[in-house]
Each structure stands twice: as structure tokens, then as C-alpha cells.
Amino acid sequence: MILGPISGLDCIVFLLLLAPQLILHAGFLPTLICGLQGLPFLPSWFEDAAIQCMRYGFARIPPKIARIFFSKQVALPLLRFRMLRHGYIRSPIQWRQVKQDTFQGLWTAGDHAEDPDIVLYYVHGGGFAIGSSYFYLEALQIWFSLLKSAGFKNPAIFVLDYSLVPDESYPVQLHQALAGYYYVCSRVRNPSDICMAGDSAGATLVLSLLLHLGQNKSETMSNGSIPIKNNFKVPGMAILISPWVKLLSTRYRDTSRDYLNAASLQLYAHQYCNNKISLHDPRISPGHCKDASWWQNASPSKGLFLSYGSEEVLAPEIRDLVLFWKQSGIAVECCEEKDGIHAWPIARTFLNRTIKGRQEGIRNLVSAIRDHMCSK
């Protein structure tokens, strides 16, 4: 199921769904103050306006309020409205909630009775502070449809709903990601049929999880690590979309095009570590891992694929990590989009004004999955 571009009517419905949730969860006065502060801000075109709004929100809206924009209570009714607007009473691609003691998320599959031939294990972004599996549900429907078109007979997607800061901090999110991986492994014949993926902070969790899975063969890890179940291997592949590879860096500078804000990144980083671990520890900030053997043990059997924008705040540290991987013999393919901004393959599914444009970023990622996962 691939729906058409976001329309003006969709935006109105989104605001109507959002308003009561903001008042209910954030309070009327904080919501009003936040809205009044943004009134002078009136860009013109839809895509540019949305990016400017994202920049304003990332820098100025408190996470307690911002997380409501991406919550299930707003995202799911909006998706159902958009489905109805396109003639769908029920989604042809079914999803169900998986909720266990140690993790929760959404499972999407074509045929739930058959073993999937590939599982995309997706970890959402949002600075560890905002985001939900339901906000990503429409984008993941595009992933699913394109995986089918790429030749996979029964693809499945599991998107993790991890605890957000400041409610919980490291290592809770890593525990949940590991438990989710164990669950996904139980649904496939071989871990090589799993492709991990994530954007922004979600991609950071993917890297932390890979390093964790590789630690049992490495002497680098110190005490305090999480036990690994016997015989659990790394996945077949990992897709990293604009990974936040170092949580703190003096090289992070606001750019004229990107919507990320360096000061907000610093706030989210400190909330995530919560003084439990150094922000320079590779387990929480994977870009600080300079142990080639550890990365070799942690790397997926069919390689890494990394996508980011040349104009995004995180670009300098991403480039450095990719260079280190290549010098260390790690199988990595990299796509740096000229003039691109943060997590653009995902953002464009919401912002682009054409169906083809909405799919383009994810289509490129699915092509990489096909090329890597289907190779012998």
C-alpha cells in the first residue's frame, strides 16, 4: 500500500488530531505559548515550510510537547484518514502489536503463517526523545511494498518501540533493542535473513546493538555489558540512515539547510546517558570505537549500507567513521546525497509532492537490500 502525497486536507486533519492530544498531555498554556512563539514564522512552499517547521521544532519545542506530534494517538488516526481518502477501508498490509515484558513493537507481514524470507528490523529515530512505531507506519508500508516488488516473496517488518528519554535512559533502550532482535531471530530460519535498519538515533541503537553482538569475540568490552544468548549471530545486513555516530562532537555545527540543532543534540545526548556512562564510550557512542577487530566481529555478514546528506549537521563524523571502516576492511557502501539533509529518505516520504518522489529514497535503500541480501 503506497498512498499519495500529503495534502492540505491531511495537514488540517493532522492539526485537528494533534490539538486535543497536546492539550491533554502537555497542557493548554504550554501549548499556547509554543504556538504563539512560532507565529512570525511563515514560509511559503510546502516542503521548505515543513523543513523550516522541523528546524524550529527541534530547536525550540520541548521534547514533552514534541513527542505528542509523533505519538500513536495522532499518527494512527491520521494514517486511517489518509487510507480512507485513497479508498482503503482496511490496509492490504496487516500489522499487529507485539508486546512482551522486555520489549514492544509492530510486526508487519504479508503471510503470517509462513516464514518470512527477509525481515527488516527497524529502529526509529528522534534523538531518543520522540518518535513511535506508529509514526513510521506509513513509511514502512512503502518499504514493504517495494520489498515485494524487489522479488522477496514474504517480507516482514518489525519496528521497535523503545522507551524514550527522559522516562528511561541507557542501557534500557539497548536492552529493548536486543530483546527485539532475539524475537526477530525466532521468526526466521537464519539471522542472515535479517536486515537491521534505523535512522538518526535509531541507527545509533543499531550500531550499539551490532557492537554488543560482536563483543563476545572481542577483548575491548569492559564490565557492565549485557549477557548475550548463546549462538546468536549478527544479522545479514544493516541500513544506516544518517546515524548519530558520536553523541557529542565539537564538529557539529548548525547548517543553513539542515533542520537539526547542535544544542538540542547535546541535550538529548546527556539525557540518554544520564551520567551512567561516558558519552565517549563506544557502547553508547559507536563512532568512538576504533578497534578494527571489534567492528569486524560486529559487522553484518553481507555488509553495511549507509545513507546521509552532505549538508546535515552529523555529516563530518559520519564521513570519518565510514573512512575508518573502509581502512579497516569493513564491507560498507555509502551514499552521500549532495545537498541532502538529515534522514531525508524517511522525511521525503512525508514531504515530497509526488508519489515517485516519496518513494525514491526508500527505493534506493531497497535496491541495496536486494543487491546485498540476494548475493551469494
Q: What is the pLDDT of residues 17-54, one digit of tens each?
A: 766 776 676 666 565 445 545 434 443 355 677 777 77
Active site residues: 200
How confident is the model over 236-257, as pLDDT tens digits? 999 999 999 999 999 999 998 8
Q: Region 89-96: what's the mean pLDDT?
A: 86
Question: Would you state the pLDDT for residue 36?
Answer: 41
How confident is the model over 112-130, as pLDDT tens digits? 788 999 999 999 999 999 9
Residues 242, 343: contact at Cβ < 8 Å?
A: yes
Residues 91, 3: contact at Cβ < 8 Å?
A: no
Between 230 and 85, residue with greater pLDDT: 85
Give, in degrees to the nearest 5, the angle at Cα 369 between 349 and 161.
55
Question: Would you state the pLDDT for residue 39?
Answer: 39
Residue corresponding to grid cell 551512567: 276
Question: Would you state the pLDDT for residue 30?
Answer: 63
Q: What's the mean pLDDT when you consider all of the chain?
A: 87
Asked if residue 8 has pLDDT above 90, the reply is no
Cell of 53: 517547521
This prediction's pTM: 0.86
pLDDT category, 221, cuts 50, 70, 90? very low
Q: Region 286-297: what's the mean pLDDT?
A: 96
CA dist., res. 56 & res. 44, Å (int):
15
Percent of the chain, pLDDT > 70? 85
Report in angstroms the alpha-carbon separations of 295 from 177, 241, 325: 19, 18, 8
Asked if residue 331 has pLDDT above 50, the reply is yes
* Domain ranges (residues) in the chain: 93-219+228-373
Q: Is 274 left (phi over 0), alpha (psi -120 to 50) or beta?
A: left
pLDDT category, 63, cuts 50, 70, 90? confident
Question: Would you state the pLDDT for residue 1?
Answer: 60
How confident is the model over 79-90, as pLDDT tens digits? 999 989 888 888
Q: Region 249-266: what's the mean pLDDT?
A: 94
How confident is the model over 356-376, as pLDDT tens digits? 888 999 999 999 999 999 865
Q: Which residues contact 165 (CB under 8 A, 6 or more apart)?
A: 63, 128, 129, 268, 271, 272, 274
Q: What is the SS3 string spanning the chain?
A: CCCCCCCHHHHHHHHHHHHHHHHHHHCHHHHHHHHHHCCCCCCCCHHHHHHHHHHHHHHHCCHHHHHHHCCHHHHHHHHHHHHHHCCCCCCCCEEEEEECCCCEEEEEECCCCCCCCEEEEEECCCCCCCCCCCCCHHHHHHHHHHHHHCCCCCEEEEEECCCCCCCCCCCHHHHHHHHHHHHHHHCCCCHHHEEEEEECHHHHHHHHHHHHHHHHHCCCCCCCCCCCCCCCCCCCEEEEECCCCCCCCCCCCCCCCCCCCHHHHHHHHHHHHCCCCCCCCCCCCHHHCCCHHHHHHHCCCCCEEEEEECCCCCHHHHHHHHHHHHHCCCCEEEEEECCCCCCHHHHHHHHCCCHHHHHHHHHHHHHHHHHHHCCC
Question: Would you state the pLDDT for residue 220?
Answer: 41
Q: Region 4-16: what's the mean pLDDT?
A: 70
Residues 314, 308: contact at Cβ < 8 Å?
A: yes
CA torsion sign for 265, 266, 267, 272 is positive
CA dist., res. 214 & res. 217, Å (int):
6
CA dist., res. 323 & res. 30, Å (int):
45
Residues 212, 228: contact at Cβ < 8 Å?
A: yes
CA dist., res. 99 & res. 158, Å (int):
12
CATH class of 93-219+228-373: alpha beta
Q: Which of 305, 304, 319, 307 is nearest to 343 (CA)?
A: 307
